[in-house]
Structure 1
Amino acid sequence: MRKIVFHINSLEQGGAERVITNLAHQFAAEGYEVYIATEWYAENEFQIDKSITRVHVGLNKEEESRGRFAKLRIRGQRLRAFIKKIKPDVVVAFCHKANYRAITAALGTGIPVIVSVRTDPVGHYDHWDDKFQIPLLFPRAAGCVFQTEGQRDFFPEKVRKKSRIILNPLNDKYLDVPEPEKRVKEVVQSGRIVDFKNQLMLIRAFDRVHKKHSDYVLKIYGGDSGDGTREQLEELIAERNAGEYVFLMGASDSLEKVLVNASVFAFSSDWEGLPNALLEAMALGLPVVATDCPCGGPRTVMQDGVNGLLVPIKDEEALADGICRLIENPDLAEQLGRKARDICKIANGKAVFEQWQDYIESVCK
């Protein structure tokens, strides 16, 4: 059976890390020899089974104090040495710097590298150094996995031609969850508390909603990213005297239970890759109103008026109107929610794994 090395910076809990962890377990269960090579260990990481080998290829404490280019060189050399020692059939890298590092480390080894873009390229792959690294390195990759057409179309034609678009896999706990007998008067959101998710706009939009529907509350679930956004949200809630109807719920490991009977799921991001929180809400059959944010994550899985409502980014009034429309038209809301559940057919773990397996096998051949 084939040998696969996944490469990412760490396994700290996040969207890309969750996908790699899930894929690693699925490939291991199929009999593949699976390694995850990371640059560092984080405090809050996804756990991996003993069937998967975790390898540290990053810096040691003494090397952390060296200059930027020295650290880049050491990281590349260490990953290259590991690849040459293990001799995998393929290296699969996730995220910006790990993508470049994997391609560079494998040069001349004959080992194919698949890179994967997990965010909006605009603002993340358009810095001065990206402008020479992308045309120099990305065409040398054996393949590239994108989540949306918007991501794919940012890159050169040579990259697009050998790429695949593959959705994120849903956790099984979000599949086949029964419809609630009755919805509660809650608007919900889940995801990290972080600036680009624009929960500030969500609170301002809900303030408008609450003026018309004072019996509804907003609950925002998610851990604090530490970027100062939570403090800004708390200040806005205090400023608007909204503490009785806007709640920061913190992180939850049982979202499939606490979200499922809400009336509306409100997605407010300014940009995303393909947001797991949105996929999970759709799988639960929640009526969704979402910003049509770049690089096209919501638009990839949603059709406006068919399985949810799409509104422009940074448009507080449009978001508020969308929430009110779903509250005031429960039959429409239920219709959209039931149609949203169809995401389970194409984004369940088995379907997504089979796409990855097919692509990896085609690259290896």
Structure 2
Amino acid sequence: MKVLQLIDSLEPGGAERIAVTYANSLCDPLEASFLCTTRAEGLLKGALKDKVGYLFLKKKRTLDYSALFRLKRFVKANKIDIVQAHTTSYFFATLLKLIYPKIQLIWHEHHGNRIHTKGSDHKALYWCSKFFSKIVVVNPDLKRWCETNLATKEVIYIPNFIVFEGEPEEVQTRSNIICCLANLRDPKNHMLLLKAFRRIHEAHPDWKLQLIGKDFNDNYSEGLKNFIKEHRLSAAVTIEGSISAVQPQLQQATIGVLSSSSEGLPMSLLEYGMAGLYPIATNVGYCREVISTFGAVVESNNEEALTTALRIAIEDRTWRIQQAGLYTAHIKKHYSLEGVLPELLKIYKN
């Protein structure tokens, strides 16, 4: 069996990391594994294993027929059986299905905020869903939404997973750093974290905050930069931008925060577990279920609650270190490749 992951770009992001993780993880259990990025390459290209077959289409527009037929030739030449289209690449994948019906098409939906929309808002997606063999989603709420609003008969919940490579660095020797691994865009609500950190910094000036993720240099990021400047936090808060290898950066830190207003099953929380961080997240998407009892979950857009969770984690070092270790073990047990791969292979083989 041969499977191709289809994604719009390889810029660091949750869906993009999952597409790369799938492509890498399927090299050995399947006959062959492939990845195609349609619009753009990015830092994550360097994370692909040599054994992964790779194609960059350089698609210029929504209906790029030249790119579409290049993809068809690639799929046909490599005798690919299944195309797994991630997030917004479903439309291009459906066009491929129309001109090459031989493939099985799976749509993999990551975006948790879709559950807050109506099915009538997604007419193109509904039409495309008639051609999906299956839909894979990252949390049960998305499963219910797809079952209610789309035409695909089989919708399967498969949690995101992470591939552990060795043990995290010793927690006791880490710096007083809080990390937020999230691209600088609206659903991630970095402003909430900045407001909470401003209050924390007054009592704990030795603590730093690192924002790791793509800076789109738009109004959203400009607002964050203005806040940092206005409140004289430039020495304490750094915007790191996109990083291909996030684990070395995270393993210098102590606390990992996700202050989003909506999520699916965020890869950032899995990365925090792999890095040995104490996790704090807002109660959106599947964050509460991922963190379980091994960190703090606060209500979305609640500055006071987030400030309190940060203060408790900072001031109780022994408890924080203990919880971080338990969280790493929890993620390894429930969200690692070993736990998810058998279920994933069943989907392909059935």
Place the TM-score, normalised by the shorter chain, in its bin. Answer: 0.7 to 0.9
| Counterparts of 2:111 and 2:216, CA distance in 1 | 17
How far 1:339 sits from its partner (Å)?
2.1
Q: Which has the larger radius of gyration?
A: 1
- 1:28 corresponding residue in structure 2: 27
Query: Is the Cα contact below 8 Å between 2:115 and 2:141 reproduced in 1?
Result: no
* One-letter identity of the residue aligned with 1:152: K
* One-letter identity of the residue aligned with 1:208: R
- 1:298 corresponding residue in structure 2: 287
- 1:349 corresponding residue in structure 2: 337
Determine if the alignment matches structure 1 residue 259 to structure 2 residue 250: yes
- 2:185 corresponding residue in structure 1: 194
- Unaligned residue ranges in structure 1 (runs of 5+): none
| Counterparts of 2:59 and 2:312, CA distance in 1 | 53
| Counterparts of 1:5 and 1:287, CA distance in 2 | 35
- 2:2 corresponding residue in structure 1: 3
Equivalences for residues 1-365 of structure 1 within 5 A: 2-47=1-46, 48-56=48-56, 59=59, 71=63, 79=71, 83=75, 87-96=79-88, 98-107=89-98, 109-122=101-114, 126=118, 130=122, 132-157=123-148, 162-173=154-165, 175-252=166-243, 255-260=246-251, 262-293=253-284, 296-303=285-292, 306-341=293-328, 342-362=330-350
- Unaligned residue ranges in structure 2 (runs of 5+): none
| Counterparts of 1:150 and 1:127, CA distance in 2 | 14
How far 1:145 sits from its partner (Å)?
1.0
Change (3 A) 1:224 1:82: same
| Counterparts of 1:44 and 1:284, CA distance in 2 | 20
Q: TM-score, length-normalised on structure 2?
A: 0.84
Query: Is the Cα contact below 8 Å between 1:57 and 1:78 reproduced in 2?
Result: yes
How far 1:170 sits from its partner (Å)?
1.8
Q: TM-score, length-normalised on structure 1?
A: 0.81
| Counterparts of 1:285 and 1:233, CA distance in 2 | 27
Q: Deviations over 1:149-192 (max 9, x none)?
A: 1221211347686222222232434x521432345433222232
| Counterparts of 1:110 and 1:252, CA distance in 2 | 38
Change (3 A) 1:75 1:254: closer
Of all paired residues, the percent bearing the same amino acid is: 24
* One-letter identity of the residue aligned with 1:326: A
Change (3 A) 1:124 1:82: farther
* One-letter identity of the residue aligned with 2:336: N
Change (3 A) 1:160 1:336: farther
How far 1:81 sits from its partner (Å)?
6.2
SS at match of 1:193: coil
How far 1:320 sits from its partner (Å)?
0.6
Query: Is the Cα contact below 8 Å between 2:5 and 2:85 reproduced in 1?
Result: yes
Aligned length: 346
Query: Is the Cα contact below 8 Å between 2:200 and 2:310 reproduced in 1?
Result: yes
Query: Is the Cα contact below 8 Å between 2:171 and 2:254 reproduced in 1?
Result: no
Query: Is the Cα contact below 8 Å between 2:3 and 2:83 reproduced in 1?
Result: yes
CA RMSD of aligned residues (A): 3.1
| Counterparts of 1:288 and 1:49, CA distance in 2 | 29
Q: Deviations over 1:117-159 (max 9, x none)?
A: 01124289758661x3344332442111111112212113476
* One-letter identity of the residue aligned with 1:92: Q
Query: Is the Cα contact below 8 Å between 1:195 and 1:227 reproduced in 2?
Result: no
* One-letter identity of the residue aligned with 2:296: L
Change (3 A) 1:120 1:227: farther
| Counterparts of 1:58 and 1:178, CA distance in 2 | 39
Change (3 A) 1:3 1:260: closer
How far 1:323 sits from its partner (Å)?
0.6
SS at match of 2:170: coil
How far 1:336 sits from its partner (Å)?
2.5
Change (3 A) 1:195 1:328: same
* One-letter identity of the residue aligned with 1:8: I
* One-letter identity of the residue aligned with 2:309: G
